[in-house]
Every structure is written in structure tokens, then in C-alpha cells.
Amino acid sequence: MKSLFSRRLLVNLTGLGIILGALFIIFPPEMLLFRRWAAYAGQIMIAYVALGLIFLLFRHDRLTFVSFFSAAILALFIKTSSNQTIRLEAPNASREFQIAQLDLGGLNDPYAQLAILKDSMADLMILQSIDPLLILDLKDSLGTSYPYYFGADHPDQGLWVFSRWPLGITHISGEQEQPQLAGILMVPEASDTLEFVATFMYPMFAQTDLILRKDQLKLTSDLVGERSYPILVIGQFNEVSWAPEIREFREKTGLLDSRRGYLPGLKDFLDKPTDHIFYSSELACIAFRNEIDSTGRFLGISGTYQFK
């Protein structure tokens, strides 16, 4: 009798742990430990599926149901936290333009990437983690293909914009803080004006960083609120799309996520989608992809857009 009671207690506690694990992802408390747990929602979802298969093999019906149900709830949560439409939008007759957000930090030979950048198909490139000593070489190398540029130098996370089209600068901040840029440009052939905000947000290492994250998202939200034209918000947010702050930011601004969902791959199982391109409803996202270099290293993301 005692053994049966202990077994039931273990089953109930295991099921409760699985349910609480999912709930702490969907409704994470404002504590760094829970935020880090929630950031791995995709990996935890797959782990729940694996647990469900193990419980099914050993005929633990209740735990099998709890595991599969929790995995399904997490899958739905991840999907609804990004762009809820399953497919990318169909191309129309207006001019296409490509936006790329690339991280040059951590490269063994950043100069080897200059030729790749020069041959990029992107019309507007957001380059982050740029060593200040590399800026002059970037300008010289990209000057023919990308004659228009501006940025914010920073000892750790320089942020620069390079464009094929003339730029109007509306905001620069970040020399002594987290960099953020905003500008405006005219898309050739489409005869339409486009605004953009480029941003970089530091990872959260302490509880106080959460306050800084909210402050910078508020600044970004204010810049979006002042727009007069369709807008793109591009950058490394160091936060997943299902984080409460990102969901609140998108709800407040009405921006859409270029990413249609997320499922970790085998090679990069522990990686998280923390860089994003958000766009206003006047635009259509017709393509989105990860940018990978010749060694297989993740460089950033890019998207192709049109005016509706």
C-alpha cells in the first residue's frame, strides 16, 4: 500500500513539474532564472515530446497525456507569439527590397567578410558588433555598392547602416549606451518612402538589466509611434519573440514578425532566435532566411519585402 502511494505521488509530482515548466514559459515571473528557462521554449517543447514517447513506451498513460499536451500548448504559444500566418505573403507587382541584419562580432578574420558583404543582395544592411578600427575599411570596401551609411561607434557593439539608396538620418544614440539608429529612405521604382529603426540590446546578466531592456524597448516603441511611413525595426534584441517584453512591444506598435515560427535544429539545438525584423502592416514579407557563412557560422537574418 505504501509503495502504491509513493508511486502515485511520484507520478503526480512529475506531471505537476511538467505542467509548471510549461506555465513558467507562458507566464514567466520577472526573475532572471525564469526568463532564461522561458527562452528555451522550443528545446523544452521537444524534450516534452521525447518524455511523452518514453512514458508511452512504459505505459504511463497519465504522464504521456500531460507531456504531449504540454508540448502542444508550447508549440501553439511559440507560433502565436511570432507571425500567426503560416505562409509568407505572395509577391505582388511592386518593387522588392531586401533587408539584412548581420553580426560581425566573433569572426576570426572579419576582413574576409568584406568581399561577402560587398556582393550581398541586400539593399539595406544593418551591421552590428563592428570594431571601430574596421569602420574605415568597411566604408572603403562597401563604398561602391553601398555609398550611403551612418552609425554609432561603441567600444563593444558598434552599429552601422549601409544602404544602396540615399538615407535621411532621424535618430542616433548609443555612443555611451546601447546603440540605436533610425532613418528614412526612398525605395527606387516603387516611389515609396520607408522608415527603419536599427537596434542592439545587450543580453541580460542581472535583474537590473530587465529594467534597461524595458527602457530601450520603450524608446524603440516611441520611435515607431512617431513614424509617418511604413517602417521596419531590425536588430539583435537578445530576446526571443515569445518573451513578454517583445510581445508587449509588438502589441503596442502593431508590428508583424518576419519569422513564421521556430523549431530548433539538430546542429544548433541550443541556439535561440533573438534577432528579429519587425514590419508594419503596409508592407508584405515575401521571404525570410538565416544568413550562414561558408564555415557554417550563423551571421544574422535577412528578409525580402514589398509595399502592399
Please tell me the distance from the alpha carbon of residue 134 to that of residue 103, in angstroms, as a whole number.
Answer: 13
**CATH number of domain containing 105:** 3.60.10.10
Q: Which domain holds residue 11?
A: 2-81
Domain count within the chain: 2
Contact 280, 231 (CB under 8 A): yes
pLDDT at residue 74 in the model: 96
Give phi and psi for 47, each to the nearest 5.
-65, -40
List, run by run, the mean pLDDT of 10-residue segments along the chain (308 residues). Answer: 68 93 94 92 96 93 95 94 80 88 72 63 87 78 86 77 90 72 85 90 84 88 91 94 94 93 82 94 93 80 93
Helices 61-81 and 41-57, axial angle in degrees (round to 10) = 160
Residue 87: inside a domain = no
Specify whether 142 is located in the same domain as 50.
no
Specify whether 166 is located in the same domain as 248.
yes
Q: How many residues does the chain have?
A: 308
Specify whether 128 is located in the same domain as 227.
yes
pLDDT at residue 212 in the model: 85
Please tell me the distance from the alpha carbon of residue 241 to that of residue 81, in angstroms, as a whole number.
Answer: 6
pLDDT at residue 9 in the model: 85
Residue 53: inside a domain = yes
Q: Which of 107, 101, 142, 144 is nearest to 124 (CA)?
A: 101
- What is the C-alpha R_g of the chain? 22
**For residue 222, what are the contacts with CB-CB under 8 A and spacing of at least 6?**
none
Cell numbers describing residue 266: 539538430
Specify whether 246 is located in the same domain as 103.
yes
Please tell me the distance from the alpha carbon of residue 10 to that of residue 5, in angstroms, as a whole number.
Answer: 9
Q: Which of 238, 232, 241 is nearest to 198 (CA)?
A: 232
Give phi and psi for 224, each to the nearest 5.
-65, -40
Q: What is the pTM of this model?
A: 0.91
Residue that has been written with the C-alpha cell 526612398 in this structure: 186
Q: Which one of 51, 81, 111 terminates a domain?
A: 81
Specify whether 61 is located in the same domain as 101.
no
Specify whether 46 is located in the same domain as 103.
no
Contact 240, 246 (CB under 8 A): yes
Cell numbers describing residue 283: 508592407
Residue 89: inside a domain = no
Specify whether 51 is located in the same domain as 137.
no
Please tell me the distance from the alpha carbon of residue 76 to that of residue 74, in angstroms, as a whole number.
Answer: 5
Residue 92: inside a domain = no
Residue 134: inside a domain = yes
Residue 201: inside a domain = yes
pLDDT at residue 207 in the model: 83
Contact 264, 42 (CB under 8 A): yes
Q: Which one of 50, 81, 112 terminates a domain?
A: 81
Specify whether 113 is located in the same domain as 236.
yes
Residue 88: inside a domain = no
Residue 138: inside a domain = yes
Specify whether 256 is located in the same domain as 204.
yes
Specify whether 109 is located in the same domain as 71.
no
Specify whether 66 is located in the same domain as 113.
no
Specify whether 123 is located in the same domain as 37.
no
Q: Which of 201, 225, 192 is nearest to 276 (CA)?
A: 201
